[in-house]
Amino acid sequence: MELSTIISPEGVIADLKANGKKQALMELSARAATITGVHERTIFDILLERERLGTTGVGQGIAIPHGKLSEIDRLFGLFARLSQPIDFESIDEQPVDLIFLLLAPQGAGADHLKALARVSRLLRDKETCEKLRHCDSVEAIYALLTDSARPHAA
């Protein structure tokens, strides 16, 4: 699964300012609303509901909040680099500075899981994360996300 099919440059935030997890999710929900056409409160509520099941802060400064919405018909991704790391109640108790938000249609079982796995693989790569932390523009972040997502021949 190519990340370029689920994320667009409009879905990249290079310098998200948030004081905590809830504010970060609110800001991401607002951006997601403009991209998906779904009300931001609907998106925010789905994300909070998922966080109540367990944190999506996966460690090493990364969070992958996600949820399913009946109002959309395809996968949507958003990526944010935070201006300052925040507490996300991560499994390693470290603050988060990179967030990849994934929204899937209600019935997208396998596609949702494939996309989560793809994002997780990408963000487990320490070199990619360091590059994401030092990119100087939305365009550079988008290029890195979509280029790094492609398998490279050995």
Selected catalytic residue, list 39, 66, 112, 134? 66
Q: What is the DSSP string of the chain?
A: --GGGT--GGGEEEEE--SSHHHHHHHHHHHHHHHH-S-HHHHHHHHHHHHHHS--EEETTEE--EEEETT-SS-EEEEEEEEEEE----TT---EEEEEEEEEETT-HHHHHHHHHHHHHHHH-HHHHHHHHH--SHHHHHHHHHHHTS----
The answer to whether 112 is a known catalytic residue is no
Give the residue numbers marked as catalytic.
Answer: 66
